Amino acid sequence: MYRTLLAACLLAGLPLAAQASDALSYNLIEAGYIHTDSDNASADGVAIKAMLALHPSVHVFADYSAQRVDQVDVDVDQWRAGIGWNHELSSTTDLLLRASWLGWRPEYGSDVDGYALELGGRLFANHRWEVEALAGWENYAEHNGINPEPEFYGRLGAVARFNEHWGLGAQVRLGKQSSREWFIGPRASW
């Protein structure tokens, strides 16, 4: 009885013990240009993104952007910080599950916080290309009468790798209700 229970517990823990694909790094930093476009306004600015592996299958990540809304000359800062789980599906493909805390800080008006959940994958296509696709859901909390609608979104990205440590990354985030966001910039990984 105890041996059966022990074997069942070990088998249940195998997916959590799986490591990231050897071809994909979860230690990286990238910075670059970000552009946000919505039905009412557009904004441009800079962003920095970082990821750090805590364990072969667990990573933390953080993003920060500072943008200026063109039509009204107002600055808006956004940040995201979270934790992710990565599971190797093959030697070049990882399954991703992420949870993050979000912040939206306009120059004038109320600060708004929220959270997001993402599910997707990363693929090491070849020694020159890496791609990423994630489906997400975000929800911002009501604050001072502002109650943004929860939203599903998609995030697609690619990295053109110059060598093992350097590349050029591009990413687009498309939401059903909110803005579209584009990012491009160099990436360093180790």
Helix, strand, coil fractions of the chain, as percent rounded to 5: 10, 65, 25
Q: Under a CB-based contact definition with an 8 Å cutoff, are residues 122 and 91 in contact?
A: no
CATH code assigned at 34: 2.40.128.130
Confidence at 5, pLDDT banded by 50, 70, 90: very low
Q: For residue range 92-108, list pLDDT tens digits in order.
A: 999 999 999 999 898 98
Q: Under a CB-based contact definition with an 8 Å cutoff, are residues 59 and 51 in contact?
A: yes
pLDDT tops 60 at residue 14: no
Q: Under a CB-based contact definition with an 8 Å cutoff, are residues 59 and 52 in contact?
A: yes
Calculate what percentage of the chain has a pLDDT beyond 90. Answer: 70
End-to-end CA distance of the chain: 46
pLDDT at 149: 80
Q: What total number of domains does the chain contain?
A: 1
**Structural domain contains residue 97:** yes
**Structural domain contains residue 155:** yes
**Structural domain contains residue 7:** no
pTM score, whole prediction? 0.84
Q: Residue 87 is part of which domain span?
A: 26-189
Q: For residue range 119-176, list pLDDT tens digits in order.
A: 999 999 999 999 999 999 999 887 666 667 889 999 999 999 999 999 999 999 998 7
